[in-house]
Structure 1
Amino acid sequence: MTIGQKIREIRLLKKMTLKQIAQKTELSIPFLSQLERDKCNATMGSLRNIADVLGVHPSAFFDYNELTEPTVVNKNDFDYRDLSNHVNSIFKPLKITIQPNSQISSRISHKGTEFVYCLEGTLTLVVGDENYNLTPHQSYMYQATEPHYWYNHTQESVTFLVVNET
């Protein structure tokens, strides 16, 4: 099942209309409709906003193949792996790789706390008005209600772990 199909399935289970989702996410109804029909792609920020409105973690939009394999989503600029082993918990561990000179999304904010741990490369983390350059083995924890995003200004891939509340 595709990301769009999962969004539609969850939206219908929650008995929500595209108009309701659009009003709460500030995304347009045509965009949401195209997303559900797999006619366009969404940023991680948009997926996070949709997930918050639907009351689910963004990983709910991705299919699981086997219990022992992480969910993997490959986009042009990033690779997103759900490392939760499909255990339902208040915490969600993710492994993310950002390609050179890329960012995942524009500033987003959502409920909860996030912990970021850099594995490879130099990750630039923006929280509020502050920039943090994390190198391997450095970490940072912040309130996810603060506008934030991650990007890679370097010529090498950046890989990091994120643990956030679901």
Structure 2
Amino acid sequence: MGQEIGEKLKELRTSQKMTLKKLSEQTNLSIGYLSQLERGLTSVAISSLENIATALGVSLSHFFEPPSTNKNRITRSFEQKLSIIENSRFIYHNIGNDKETENMSPFIITILPNYTHEEVIPYSHEGEEFVYVLEGILSVFLENQRYELYPGDSMHIKSTLRHNWDNYTNKLVKILCNYSPKMFELKDRANINY
């Protein structure tokens, strides 16, 4: 059990790019002790493990979950990929797990204001998509109509309908969007044309 806890601790700490020194400062546990714990060379009290879990932003149960059962199904907030598309006002947070699913692409998309009021051209593609407005007012263009979606509003369409959206306010718009099938793979700070 100590070896498994140590492995999970090291994997979690390194995935967050946290040094042993920083973890030591946040938990009041020595660097040497944390190093031994990661290598399975010492045991850990529940109170110490709880401090470590808090510092790493996970629940105590994270260290006791069966190995690999849910590893590819759960995406922690610190594992989400942020993509900023050059020359665009869209910031994509990939909140899905690319390894687990091939048929959907869930994102939280932040849309910066469109101060230029450039024309939005509706387009179509295969599949379907679901949009849920988390924050702000989203202008949706669907066929030849324009709709305003407010927080809590949603839209679920076949993507073969001509559609697009934009932000014509002076505040950020945040939406939860799910494409099916998976439309594209986002790379950090990558250009995307779809």
Q: TM (normalized to structure 1)?
A: 0.55
Once the two structures are TM-superposed, the CA of residue 89 in structure 1 deviates from its matched residue by: 3.2
Q: Distance in 2 between matches of 1:98 and 1:117?
A: 13
Partner amino acid, structure 1, of 2:152 = H
Q: Distance in 1 between matches of 2:137 and 2:77?
A: 31
Pairing 1:83–2:107 present: no
**In the superposition, relative to structure 1, how do residues 144 and 69 fare at CA in structure 2: closer, same or farther (>3 Å)?**
same
Once the two structures are TM-superposed, the CA of residue 162 in structure 1 deviates from its matched residue by: 0.9
1:32 equivalent in structure 2? none
Q: Distance in 2 between matches of 1:162 and 1:93?
A: 6
| Structure 1 consecutive aligned stretches of length 4 or more whose deviation exceeds 4 Å | none
Pairing 1:128–2:140 present: no
Question: Is there any run of 5+ residues in structure 2 with no aligned partner, and where?
Answer: 1-75, 182-194
Q: TM (normalized to structure 2)?
A: 0.47
Q: Distance in 2 between matches of 1:110 and 1:85?
A: 23
2:109 equivalent in structure 1? 96
Match of 2:84 among 68, 74, 88: 74
Q: Distance in 2 between matches of 1:156 and 1:128?
A: 26
Q: Distance in 2 between matches of 1:161 and 1:138?
A: 11
Once the two structures are TM-superposed, the CA of residue 125 in structure 1 deviates from its matched residue by: 1.0
SS in 1 for 2:91: strand
Which structure has the larger Rg?
2
1:1-166 counterparts in 2 under 5 A? 69-75=79-85, 76-86=88-98, 87-101=100-114, 106-166=121-181
Aligned residues: 101
Question: Is there any run of 5+ residues in structure 1 with no aligned partner, and where?
Answer: 1-65
SS in 2 for 1:146: coil
Once the two structures are TM-superposed, the CA of residue 157 in structure 1 deviates from its matched residue by: 0.5
